[in-house]
Amino acid sequence: MAIEIDNNEKKNRTFDIDKIRNDFPILKQLINGKPLVYFDNAATTQKPLSVINKIESYYKEINSNIHRGVHTLSQRATVEYEATREKVMRFINAENLSEIIFTKGTTDSINLVASSFGKKFVKEGDEIIVSQMEHHSNIVPWQMLCEEKNAHLKVIPINDSGELIIEEYEKLITEKTKLVSIVYVSNSLGTINPVKEIIKIAHSKNVPVLIDAAQAIQHFKIDVKELDCDFLCFSGHKVYGPTGIGVLYGKQALLESMPPYQGGGDMIRSVSFSKTVYNSLPAKFEAGTPNIEAGIALGTAFDYINSIGIENIFDYETDLFNYANEKILAIDKLIPIGTAKNKSGTISFILDGVHPHDIGTILDFDGVAIRTGHHCTQPVMERFNLPATARISFGLYNTKEEVDIAIKSIKKVFEVFI
């Protein structure tokens, strides 16, 4: 089944869902005797064969430590690893390679900023702004910083639909605000936040903004220059790449003004007991041997996405999301959690009288993998007075047929429990 993307500039491209599904070997297996329907993409995405093969070929052909070796293998590994930096730079339209820092993932990227930016710029009485819909990884590092510095964490509230209350945000910014750190797309509500507007408001008061793009980068085009964000982070494993690799984008001048995060090999130019000189960007923030194979294979993941086109992925997923949203919300006694006007990737819900874990277990009998729990967003659960939700989250290989299978399975839950 090939869906034509009928828009002038893209008219010759197709989104060949059968071919795409064929690229992901894991999708061919049966779970509990049923074809796997993988709807836990917000937790992690599956990997195309090209990414899996890249990791294997790295170990079979070029395994070697990078940056330091003069021998051929080390140089090959370095070239491939650094090629990913360039692919990321192009993908998000960063200005130069110095602005792309490799980390372990979104959590690590945020901790880097909290630690380094926090050390340099946050003092007693200062304020950091986050929102009520942040993942724990965009709350706890700031709480730790505030505790250490005697600073204050301020929180933008959300309304009943799961949208940020922008008027409240404007009131929270003061001359003491040092940073605004906001999620682009909520992993538990699916809300797409108006980050461009949020950044504009912060910049009008000279406050930099970090964007957590962990649930955005895989779904639509991100242009850091157009957004004008000061930092942006994401995880490789949520964008069809390996675990253990992620990215921190930062504007060069800002990154240059910040002290190193960790000390060790690679982040230095010279070391002596009288004086150590730090390396320039991006090495300054990349101490120690990195996750080389994951870094290289992340580049393959971006090649894969580029071969389809992020705009085509967006168009396909938007159609799929709208189909799923309409059908899932029509299920009797299903209560959606997060009904924002702008949503992407994720549908959260509860069924009256059933614990979400029971929904997850019954769907698993039918081979349908969804996530249940607080999704590392306990403040969101508190806001909606819930212990947990059931969450369906989409990837580029999901189909309407799979949505129908999940819906049939959700309806079965009522037969068992109600």
Give whichever of 268 and 376 is closer to ligand PLP, judged by the CB atom: 376
The minimum distance between CB 183 and ligand PLP, in angstroms, equals 5
Bridge-based pairing state of the strands 34-35 and 346-351: unpaired
Cβ-based neighbours of 396, under 8 Å, separated by 6 or more? 20, 218, 240, 308, 313, 316, 317
| Residues within window 124-183 making contact with ligand PLP, judged by CB under 6 A | 135, 137-138, 183
41 part of the interface to ligand PLP, by CB under 6 A: no
219 part of the interface to ligand PLP, by CB under 6 A: no
The minimum distance between CB 373 and ligand PLP, in angstroms, equals 11
The minimum distance between CB 375 and ligand PLP, in angstroms, equals 7
| Residues within window 84-103 making contact with ligand PLP, judged by CB under 6 A | none
Whether 146 is a known active-site residue: answer no
One of 235, 339, 393, 399 touching ligand PLP (CB under 6 A): 235
279 part of the interface to ligand PLP, by CB under 6 A: no
391 part of the interface to ligand PLP, by CB under 6 A: no
The minimum distance between CB 44 and ligand PLP, in angstroms, equals 8
One of 41, 111, 132, 215 touching ligand PLP (CB under 6 A): 215
Give whichever of 245 and 359 is closer to ligand PLP, judged by the CB atom: 245
How many C-beta atoms lie closer than 10 Å to residue 125's C-beta? 10
> Whole-angstrom Cα distance, residue 137 to residue 146?
15
One of 127, 212, 286, 315 touching ligand PLP (CB under 6 A): 212
Give whichever of 22 and 44 is closer to ligand PLP, judged by the CB atom: 44
What is the SS3 assignment for the chain? CEEECCCHHHCCCEEEHHHHHHCCHHHHCEECCEECEECECCCCCCCCHHHHHHHHHHHHHHCCCCCCCCCHHHHHHHHHHHHHHHHHHHHHCCCCHHHEEEECCHHHHHHHHHHHHHHHHCCCCCEEEEECCCCHHHCHHHHHHHHHHCCEEEEECECCCCCECHHHHHHHCCCCEEEEEEECECCCCCEECCHHHHHHHHHHCCCCEEEECCCCCCCCCCCHHHHCCCEEEEEHHHCCCCCCCEEEEECHHHHHHCCCCCCCCCCEEECCCCCCEECCCCHHHCCCCCCHHHHHHHHHHHHHHHHHCHHHHHHHHHHHHHHHHHHHHCCCCEEECCCCCCECCEEEEEECCECHHHHHHHHHHCCEECEEECCCCHHHHHHCCCCCEEEEECCCCCCHHHHHHHHHHHHHHHHHHC
The minimum distance between CB 157 and ligand PLP, in angstroms, equals 18
The minimum distance between CB 105 and ligand PLP, in angstroms, equals 3
Contact flags string 367-386 toward ligand PLP, x per CB under 6 A: --------------------
40 part of the interface to ligand PLP, by CB under 6 A: no
The minimum distance between CB 321 and ligand PLP, in angstroms, equals 17
Beta bridge partners of residue 240, listed in sequence order: none
Give whichever of 105 and 336 is closer to ligand PLP, judged by the CB atom: 105
105 part of the interface to ligand PLP, by CB under 6 A: yes
Total residues interacting with ligand PLP, rule: CB under 6 A = 13
Give whichever of 15 and 349 is closer to ligand PLP, judged by the CB atom: 349
Burial (Cβ within 10 Å: 0-12, 13-18, ≥19) of residue 264: exposed
One of 84, 132, 187, 389 touching ligand PLP (CB under 6 A): 187
One of 41, 78, 84, 107 touching ligand PLP (CB under 6 A): 107
One of 45, 106, 279, 344 touching ligand PLP (CB under 6 A): 106
The minimum distance between CB 234 and ligand PLP, in angstroms, equals 8
Q: Exactly one of 146, 229, 233, 376 is catalytic; which is it?
A: 376
What are the residue numbers of the active site?
A: 376
The residues that touch ligand PLP, with contacts defined as CB under 6 A, are: 42, 105-107, 135, 137-138, 183, 187, 212, 214-215, 235
